[in-house]
């Protein structure tokens, strides 16, 4: 059987993109670098003595659990004592930027896939391909397009962490009780009203679970991205492997674990009913309708009432 040169086709495609869209990649690289530098400046300028209490407050607001607050303080004090604070903030910067970008891209695609069977059929094989592709393969085109440094690490991390946001958003919207959606339509609510005031609030736990998975995948990819010069804790771990420095590698891995547990518990807490994100959304939508209505305001839309009654 003759060999099919798939790799040659991929190389030709990359060279074509570099020749014709090199300027666009350079512009994207500059934009990503600016964003990374800005977020890193925010996280790195305050001392650890200032940020650790801030992280503790965030942990309390997200979960209302004093155990996580104690763990957050002790874990980040340990990271600081190992002189890995700067590397941890570098990794946290990339995780926050990549996770935000993945959620901003993935949630609208998930909404589209949930509301269109054709879109779902088109998106599903792409997501399957992305989730089964070896992790290191994501780094190869990023290095070709953006060179070595934090930019290819950020871009590859964003792409790698994207699928859970799409899948869990679509799953959450599709699992909303169809009778509630049909009743909302029967009361005269427009499709956008149903989506905004009924489906999205009721699907919020699933969406937040997707955000949690995005953050975890982004953190795992940031460590691997240390191989292409992304810096942070990934560089510490890679250096420990390449130089057979078990102690340094263990310290870097321990800092990654501390950061991962903190991010996992915080993002997980944001999706619990106790955080009441759906209620906040409904309250804001109700306030918008009240401010837009005349003095004799009409009652709330049936879609909002249905969403409120089911929470």
What is the model's pLDDT at position 281?
Answer: 43
Cα distance between residue 107 and residue 128, in whole Å: 17
Helices 200-225, 232-242: inter-axial angle, 10-degree rounding: 40
* Contact by Cβ (8 Å): 73, 56: yes
Contacts of 26 (CB under 8 A, 6+ apart): none
296 pLDDT band (50/70/90 cuts)? very low
How many residues are given for the chain?
A: 311
pLDDT of residue 284: 47
Mean pLDDT of 59-80: 91
Burial group, residue 207, by CB count within 10 angstroms (0-12, 13-18, 19+): buried
Instruction: Tell me the CA distances in angstroms from 250 to 73, 77, 160, 233, 238, one per residue in order.
Output: 20, 17, 25, 11, 11
pLDDT range class, residue 109, cuts 50, 70, 90: very high
**Contact assessment for residue 69 and residue 262, using Cβ atoms and an 8 Å cutoff:** no
Q: Where are the domains of the chain?
A: 20-272+280-291+298-310
| Of the candidates 167, 235, 148, 243, the residue with the CA atom closest to the CA atom of residue 207 | 167
Instruction: State the pTM of this model.
Output: 0.79
Please give the residue that has the higher pLDDT: either 292 or 273. 273
**Cα-trace Rg, the chain:** 22
**Tokens (6 digits) for 192:** 């956008």
**In this structure, how many other beta carbons lie within 10 angstroms of the beta carbon of residue 148?**
13
Asked if 212 and 275 count as a contact pair (C-beta separation under 8 A), the reply is: no
Instruction: Tell me the pLDDT tens digit for each residue of 219-249.
Output: 888 878 877 777 788 888 888 888 888 888 8
Superfamily name with CATH number, domain 20-272+280-291+298-310:
MetI-like (1.10.3720.10)
């Amino acid at each position: 059987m003759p060999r099919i040169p798939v790799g040659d086709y991929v190389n030709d495609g990359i060279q074509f993109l570099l020749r014709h869209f090199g300027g666009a990649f350079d512009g994207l690289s500059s934009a990503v670098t600016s964003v990374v530098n800005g977020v890193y400046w925010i996280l790195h300028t305050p001392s650890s003595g200032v940020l650790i209490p801030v992280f503790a407050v965030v942990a309390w607001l997200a979960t209302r659990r004093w155990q996580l607050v104690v763990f957050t303080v002790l874990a980040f004090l340990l990271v600081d004592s190992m002189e890995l604070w700067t590397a941890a903030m570098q990794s946290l910067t990339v995780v926050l930027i990549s996770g935000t970008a993945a959620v901003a891209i993935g949630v609208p695609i998930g909404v589209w896939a949930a509301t269109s069977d054709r879109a779902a059929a088109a998106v599903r094989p792409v997501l399957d391909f992305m989730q089964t592709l070896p992790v290191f393969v994501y780094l190869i085109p990023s290095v070709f397009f953006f060179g070595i440094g934090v930019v290819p690490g950020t871009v590859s991390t964003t792409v790698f962490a994207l699928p859970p946001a799409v899948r869990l958003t679509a799953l959450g919207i599709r699992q909303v009780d169809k009778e509630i959606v049909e009743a909302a339509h029967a009361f005269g609510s427009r499709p956008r009203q149903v989506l905004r005031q009924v489906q999205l609030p009721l699907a919020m736990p699933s969406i937040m679970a997707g955000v949690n998975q995005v953050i975890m995948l982004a953190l795992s990819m940031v460590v691997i991205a240390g191989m292409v010069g992304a810096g942070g804790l990934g560089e510490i771990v890679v250096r420990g492997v390449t130089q057979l420095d078990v102690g340094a590698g263990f310290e870097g891995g321990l800092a990654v674990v501390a950061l991962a547990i903190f991010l996992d518990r915080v993002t997980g807490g944001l999706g619990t009913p106790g955080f009441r994100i759906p209620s906040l959304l409904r309250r804001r939508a109700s306030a918008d309708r009240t401010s837009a209505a005349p003095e004799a305001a009409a009652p709330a839309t049936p879609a909002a009432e249905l969403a409120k009654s089911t929470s």
